A = this chain, B = another copy of it.
Amino acid sequence: MAVYTDITDEELNALLSDFDLGAPLAFKGIAEGVENSNFLLETQAGRFILTVYEKRVREDELPFFLGLTRWLAQHGYPSATPMIDKAGEALKRVRGKPCAIFSFLPGLSVRRPTAIHCREAGQGLARLHLAADGFALTRANDLGQDAWAPLFATLRDDAENLKPGLAAVIDADLAHIAANWPTDLPRGVIHADYFPDNVFFQGPTFAGAIDFYFACVDQLAYDIAVALNAWCFEADGSFNITSARALLAGYEAHRPLTPAERAALPVLAHGAAMRFFLTRLHDWGATPAGALVRPKDPLEYERKLAVHRSAPDLVLLSEVS
């Protein structure tokens, strides 16, 4: 929720002179994206989002992200897609930083998704998996299952500070997940961060997904597990089976799960909760006391871990009725 890079009118005009988008008509910093600077840009050609990549995005990975959203747009999937300049380039530079100009994707994210939103979100996720099929570039999941134990080795003290005794519990979780993790499920491009704030609706209808900066190639069903955790828990920490069934039913309307994928959902959901618990724990520990922007609370995902640990069948029970 921050604009880091300041772009002058001269710098904007110089950037736009490489494109066929006409003159700028409006330009405002927007509070979207934690790790990039984003600007609403209106030109004679329409509305766009200018994204300036700050240091946390690795520049050598940008061709994957930009190429993926272009591929998705060309294959009918609604997303913000990068414009190419007169020389055919999407990845540009402004003020010494990499940047790209994206189409403006209309829509609103929802704060408290209903089962109807979950069904639509499930459809949107399956459509994403299908539309990405055939995309030639690849990117490993650097926050995948094999990264969690090494990451946690650096965070044991933070876990104990959060909740005494937690480190041993996480160790046991990690061992359980590693022993049961599937390796031969169908693979493809996954979003890997398919949270409600990255999904847009028009009224109750799915309108597209944004923020593909964690996208990678991994087991497709893991993306469903991330979404179940992100969309189907109530504020009080309970798992909403109605919402989970709706999300799965929406997904399977476009891409039915294999029996192996369905059977793996409990451990995938347990692992997906671990992934977000660990990165939130990391960001929490790395934030100085008194900072203006507090990172997301790792305890939310510690509670989701506890649900999957104590009631793994919950996710299995959420079959399409």
Asked if A28 contacts B30 (CB within 8 A), the reply is yes
Which B residues touch A261, using CB under 8 A?
none
Asked if A29 contacts B31 (CB within 8 A), the reply is yes
Known: A1-B3, A3-B1, A292-B292. A108 touches B31 (CB 8 A): no
Mark out the residues of chain A between 1 and 58 whose CB falls within 8 Å of any chain B CB in the assembled complex. 1-3, 8-10, 12, 23-32, 40, 42
CA A27 – CA B2 in complex, angstroms? 16
Which B residues touch A108, using CB under 8 A?
9, 12, 24-27
Which B residues touch A30, using CB under 8 A?
28-31, 40
CA A205 – CA B291 in complex, angstroms? 42
Answer yes or no: A203 CB below 8 A from chain B CBs.
yes
A74 CB to nearest B CB, Å: 23
Which B residues touch A28, using CB under 8 A?
30-32, 40
The listed residue with most B CB atoms (<10 A of its CB), out of A3, A31, A110, is A31
The listed residue with most B CB atoms (<10 A of its CB), out of A26, A109, A292, is A26
Which B residues touch A107, using CB under 8 A?
25-26
The listed residue with most B CB atoms (<10 A of its CB), out of A12, A25, A28, A111, is A28
Answer yes or no: A75 CB below 8 A from chain B CBs.
no
CA A24 – CA B202 in complex, angstroms? 8
Which B residues touch A110, using CB under 8 A?
9
CA A8 – CA B113 in complex, angstroms? 11
CA A203 – CA B22 in complex, angstroms? 11
Of all chain B residues, the one with the shortest Cβ separation from A13 is B108
Asked if B40 contacts A40 (CB within 8 A), the reply is yes
Which B residues touch A31, using CB under 8 A?
2-3, 28-31
Asked if A112 contacts B10 (CB within 8 A), the reply is yes
Answer yes or no: A106 CB below 8 A from chain B CBs.
yes
Which B residues touch A27, using CB under 8 A?
108
CA A8 – CA B292 in complex, angstroms? 21
Asked if A203 contacts B23 (CB within 8 A), the reply is yes
CA A3 – CA B2 in complex, angstroms? 9
Mark out the residues of chain A between 269 and 317 whose CB falls within 8 Å of any chain B CB in the assembled complex. 291-293
CA A107 – CA B28 in complex, angstroms? 10
CA A10 – CA B114 in complex, angstroms? 12
Of all chain B residues, the one with the shortest Cβ separation from A11 is B111
Asked if B8 contacts A106 (CB within 8 A), the reply is no
Which B residues touch A106, using CB under 8 A?
25-26, 42
13 other A-B residue contacts (CB within 8 Å) besides A9-B108, A292-B293: A2-B31, A8-B112, A9-B110, A9-B111, A25-B107, A25-B108, A26-B104, A28-B32, A29-B30, A30-B30, A40-B40, A42-B106, A292-B292
Instruction: Name 27 A/B residue pairs within 8 A (Cβ), A-sorted.
Output: A1-B3, A1-B29, A3-B31, A8-B111, A8-B112, A9-B108, A9-B109, A10-B111, A10-B112, A12-B108, A23-B203, A25-B106, A25-B107, A25-B108, A26-B104, A26-B106, A26-B107, A28-B31, A28-B40, A29-B30, A29-B31, A30-B30, A30-B31, A30-B40, A40-B40, A42-B106, A292-B292
